[in-house]
Amino acid sequence: MSSSEPVLIICFGVSGCGKSTVAQHLATRFDFNFIEADDFHSEENKAHMASGKALSDAMREPWVNALCDFLTEQAGQGRSCIMANSCLRQAHRLRFRNLPFRSVFVHLSGTEQLIHERMQARAGHFMPAALLSSQFAAFESTEGEADVALVDISSDEASVCLAAEGMVKRQLGL
């Protein structure tokens, strides 16, 4: 892997699937910058979701724009990044693919029941478990997206992190 070719690894899936946990693990293992996409949401978007309402595509657009601008800046500085992002829409994944990085997508996938149970057990997050069904409904299939590695999240956290790490290494030829 050339130093002139920064890497962007995106850990994605519905809320509660473990994106931040896996992305932080990978950022540590690969020594890449960690980006929490939730930090780029406006306060209005966070309040909207916290009130139990799903975001519209129009509400997501400024968020995706801000992420793309920030990531383009990172790529321009030669920085490889790992981002935790829902990436529910194919169009958003395509926008990230078109940034000046070598991209790898890690789809963290589990059943709605499993993820709902995990969401109910977590504290301090603005996204309520009640919105999980809307996340599953909004998620667009990754079929035909060759750079997507699918990771089953039904195992324990350490096993999921190691599985994701192995898939990223294979995708990057490490």
SS3 8: strand
Only one residue has tokens 């799903």, namely 54
State the CB neighbour count (10 A cutoff) for residue 151: 25
CA distances from 160 to 23, 25, 26, 106 (A): 11, 10, 11, 11
SS3 97: helix
**pLDDT in the model for residue 66:** 96
What is the torsional sign of CA 165, 167, 169, 172? negative
Query: Residues 6 or more apart from 118 whose CB is under 8 A from it?
Result: 16, 18
Asked if residue 63 lies in contact with residue 40, where contact means CB atoms within 8 angstroms, the answer is yes
CA dihedral 152, 156, 158, 162 (to 10 degrees): -20
Note the pLDDT tens digit of each residue in 36-64: 998 998 888 888 877 878 778 898 899 99
Q: Which fold has domain 7-172?
A: Rossmann fold (3.40.50)
Note the pLDDT tens digit of each residue in 139-168: 899 999 999 999 999 999 999 999 999 999
Q: Give the whole-angstrom CA distance, residue 148 versus residue 171.
A: 9
The answer to which of 4-8, 123-127, 134-138, 165-169 has the lowest mean pLDDT is 123-127
Q: Give the whole-angstrom CA distance, residue 150 versus residue 51.
A: 31
**pLDDT in the model for residue 159:** 97
What DSSP state is assigned to residue 139?
P
Query: Residues 6 or more apart from 1 whose CB is under 8 A from it?
Result: 7, 102, 172, 173, 174
State if pTM tops 0.85. Answer: yes
* Cα–Cα–Cα angle for 143, 95, 90, rounded to 5 degrees: 25
- Provide the residue ranges of all domains of the chain, joining segments of one domain with +: 7-172
